[in-house]
Structure 1
Amino acid sequence: MHILMVSHFFESHLGGIERVAGHLSRQMAAQGADVTWTASGQDPAPVDIPTLCLSCINPTEKLTGLPMPIPGPVGMAALWRAVGRADAVVVHDALYVTSILALAMARLRGRRVVLIQHIAGIPFASGVMRAVMALANAVVTRPMLWAADRLVFISDTVRRDLLGDPARRDYALLFNGVDGDVFTRLGPAAQGLPEGKRRVLFVGRFVEKKGLSILRAVAAMRPDVAFLLAGAGPIRPASWGLANVHDLGPQAPAQLAALYRSADCLLLPSVGEGYPLVIQEAMACGLPVICGAPTHLADPEAGPFLRGVAVDLADAEGSAARVAAMLDAPGPTMAQRAQMAAWAAARYSWAAMARAIMGLTTG
């Protein structure tokens, strides 16, 4: 079977959805599928799996933090041909132009479509952006959900937001996997980190929806804590002028695992998330997690291991105060951290997720 995997970017763009698409492409190939991964050619494509780079423009990311690659005529023609060669198309998230085009082309060419939905609405600080997001979900996301042959959610909170409770159509709830060879409690610690302070780690894109304004506010409130930020994006934490904020830049998986093993907690004060992969990776390394509510409910069985905090991008100071209070709350014991790591390692499997999605492509 030839599967066309469609995402907005390749994993070198450093987003979570792209990393999921990469893991699934490799796992499906390992399980015997013929997979081609297609995405915008803005960033380097992986060299270990077949790819198709689409010629796109991306006008919105620097202005709003929202990545939105838009294929031109050459990119559209290449995508049309790729859909025609495929037996099934796996599309990541409904709102991207690449996703909309791939699903529409698959319908026209009679190809089966599995849509993997990662996020729902994003409560931006700007009322205009919130209205745009709500309109987009109403006129694009929900019709896309109904147009797909099979629907997958990686978060139960996203499923409830978009399908209601009880759900208005059939779906599969499949959680992202974790690379158990990399993300474990056992392994080297990160070197060159600040000494003598608690270490709070953030991993993700440096964009508004990830709660960077809240991170800045809580770091200003808590000079006694070292805030380690791993990632990249249009926001520049180094420009904040806070001595306890350390911009580590992008990190390879092994470097991330070492950071998880060296920090005191992972802090992800983001909004509009599904179930960020970094949360599951941190759990597998035994690192306590504080995240924006209701992300901590994405996997109903993970609730006892995650701490959710109410965050509001329009009220960074109030949100930061709630985060600071949670940082002072008693955390899990070492025995509880070991229990969490073992549980996450057993629950989250890329191979199992890929196998289930391949099953959905055939019936």
Structure 2
Amino acid sequence: MRILTVSHFFAPHGGGIELVAGHLNRELVAQGHDTQWAAAREGALPDLGATRPVGLTCVNWLERLTGLPMPIPTPAAIRRLWRAVAASDAVIVHDALYVSSIVALIAARRLRKPVLLIQHIADIPFSNRLLRSLMAFANTCVTRPMLRGADHVVFISATVRDLFADVRFRSAPQLLFNGVDTNLFHPVALKRDETILFVGRFVEKKGLSVIAALARMRPDLRFLLVGRGPIDPTKWQLSNVSVLPQQTPATLANLYRQARLLLLPSIGEGFPLVVQEAMACGLRILCGTDTASADPEARSWLAHVMIDLADPQQTATRVAATIDTLPCVPPPRAMADHAASHYSWPVMVSAIVSALSR
């Protein structure tokens, strides 16, 4: 089957959605499909292996101003995306709110191509009131109509699925968790240090303000932040905060195995891939309550607190109190076993292809 994937960026941008799109494309190729991937072009097109990139020229001023990755395709890019949809047998769209997602779904409907929408996130309770209002408006006027318009819908989080439970879908939506490469991400008996690890984009919604407040509040704790983005944690000038750029999966796996804790005080998430990878490596996790509810069967293994980015100081106080109560021993092996048995790229892709083939 000729399958076109549409996401806002390619994997090198570093966000969770585009990383998931990359994993799915590799597995689609492994299962014998002919794949193209359309996304915003940032400089030279990335090497996607057997998947052919369809680079879309976009303007991205919104991310520079707010941290929101919201590229807007040019008219020529929209025409190119339409042609890519026309040349495909089926279309997979990642998340509803992006302009390229909207164009791809409209094109697929007009051209009678089956389209499957993977909805990663739901509401994002920004600290800025205007952004909160815009997000609520967008979910009402864009996300819900997109969910109604897609032939098939996949949610990667029970939290996100439940928020949109009242939508009238064309077919029953599926809950399919992102996969984890257990050849890389699995427990290894290494001596853990006292590092509190963060992995993700350096943007507001990931809770960087909470981590900064916590690091100032608790100089006895040592933090390692891995990622990139418009926020620069080195400017905090805190001696207990170290920063690394994006790392290879193999290096990340070792970081998960050596750290004391993965801290992800984020909002508006689906089920972040870093949480699933950390689970597979046997690392204790502290995240927001909504994130911890993404997989109901895993919730008991995840420490969680309510995250309020409008009050990072108070949220940091809650996080610090929770850290102080966490056991010194690693989580039960059952957590890593659950990740290995429930989070599978081949299973996810097989279910997606089955839906598109109906």
**Does the TM-score normalized on the shorter chain lie above 0.5?**
yes
* Structure-1 residue corresponding to 2:326: 330
* Structure-2 residue corresponding to 1:6: 6
In 1, distance between residues paired with 2:70 and 2:191? 36
Residue identity opposite 1:178 in structure 2: V
Is the CA contact (8 Å cut-off) linking 1:288 and 1:337 kept in structure 2? no
In 2, distance between residues paired with 1:295 and 1:168? 25
* Structure-2 residue corresponding to 1:193: none
In 2, distance between residues paired with 1:26 and 1:116? 17
Q: CA deviation at 1:343?
A: 1.8
In 2, distance between residues paired with 1:159 and 1:343? 21
Distance 1:176 1:241, change over 3 A: same
Aligned 1:21-60 pairs, distance under 5 A = 21-42=21-42, 44-48=45-49, 49-60=51-62
* Structure-1 residue corresponding to 2:70: 68
Q: Aligned to 2:242, what secondary structure does the other structure show?
A: strand
* Structure-2 residue corresponding to 1:273: 269
Is the CA contact (8 Å cut-off) linking 2:24 and 2:349 kept in structure 1? yes
Q: Aligned to 1:353, what secondary structure does the other structure show?
A: helix
* Structure-2 residue corresponding to 1:206: 202
* Structure-1 residue corresponding to 2:16: 16
* Structure-2 residue corresponding to 1:255: 251
Aligned 1:64-213 pairs, distance under 5 A = 64-164=66-166, 168-169=168-169, 170-186=172-188, 198-213=194-209
In 2, distance between residues paired with 1:257 and 1:265? 13
Residue identity opposite 2:197 in structure 1: L
When structure 1 is superposed on structure 2, of 248-257 and 167-176 the one drifting more is: 167-176
- Across the aligned residues of Structure 1 and Structure 2, the Cα RMSD in angstroms comes to 1.5
Tell me if 1:345 matches 2:340: yes
Is the CA contact (8 Å cut-off) linking 2:148 and 2:168 kept in structure 1? no
Q: Aligned to 1:60, what secondary structure does the other structure show?
A: helix
Residue identity opposite 1:181 in structure 2: N
Q: Aligned to 2:195, what secondary structure does the other structure show?
A: strand
In 2, distance between residues paired with 1:161 and 1:229? 30
In 2, distance between residues paired with 1:188 and 1:19? 27
When structure 1 is superposed on structure 2, of 135-144 and 301-310 the one drifting more is: 301-310
Q: Aligned to 1:301, what secondary structure does the other structure show?
A: coil
Residue identity opposite 1:338 in structure 2: R
Residue identity opposite 1:47 in structure 2: L
* Structure-1 residue corresponding to 2:357: 362
Is the CA contact (8 Å cut-off) linking 1:199 and 1:228 kept in structure 2? yes
* Structure-2 residue corresponding to 1:224: 220
In 2, distance between residues paired with 1:171 and 1:331? 38
In 2, distance between residues paired with 1:337 and 1:207? 32
Residue identity opposite 1:35 in structure 2: T
Is the CA contact (8 Å cut-off) linking 1:288 and 1:332 kept in structure 2? no
In 2, distance between residues paired with 1:239 and 1:189? 31
* Structure-2 residue corresponding to 1:194: none
Q: Aligned to 2:126, what secondary structure does the other structure show?
A: coil
Q: CA deviation at 1:140?
A: 0.4
In 1, distance between residues paired with 2:48 and 2:9? 15
Q: CA deviation at 1:185?
A: 1.3
For residues 171-192 of structure 1, the C-alpha deviation after alignment (integer angstroms, 9 at most, x for no partner) is 10000000111111128789xx
Identity of aligned residues (%): 53
Q: CA deviation at 1:219?
A: 0.7
Q: CA deviation at 1:339?
A: 2.4
In 2, distance between residues paired with 1:158 and 1:47? 29
* Structure-2 residue corresponding to 1:296: 292
* TM superposition score normalised by structure 2: 0.96
Is the CA contact (8 Å cut-off) linking 1:198 and 1:224 kept in structure 2? no
Is the CA contact (8 Å cut-off) linking 1:189 and 1:258 kept in structure 2? no
Residue identity opposite 1:341 in structure 2: A
Q: CA deviation at 1:337?
A: 3.6
In 1, distance between residues paired with 2:242 and 2:33? 42
Q: CA deviation at 1:362?
A: 1.1
* Structure-2 residue corresponding to 1:287: 283
Distance 1:273 1:307, change over 3 A: same
Give the count of matched residue pairs: 354
Return 5+ residue gaps in structure 2 as ranges.
Answer: none
Q: CA deviation at 1:348?
A: 0.6
* TM superposition score normalised by structure 1: 0.95
In 1, distance between residues paired with 2:250 and 2:274? 13
Residue identity opposite 2:2 in structure 1: H
Return 5+ residue gaps in structure 1 as ranges.
Answer: 191-196
Q: CA deviation at 1:340?
A: 1.4
Q: 2:310 aligns with which of 311, 314, 334?
A: 314
Is the CA contact (8 Å cut-off) linking 1:4 and 1:82 kept in structure 2? yes
Q: CA deviation at 1:35?
A: 1.1
In 2, distance between residues paired with 1:187 and 1:106? 49
Q: Aligned to 1:246, what secondary structure does the other structure show?
A: strand
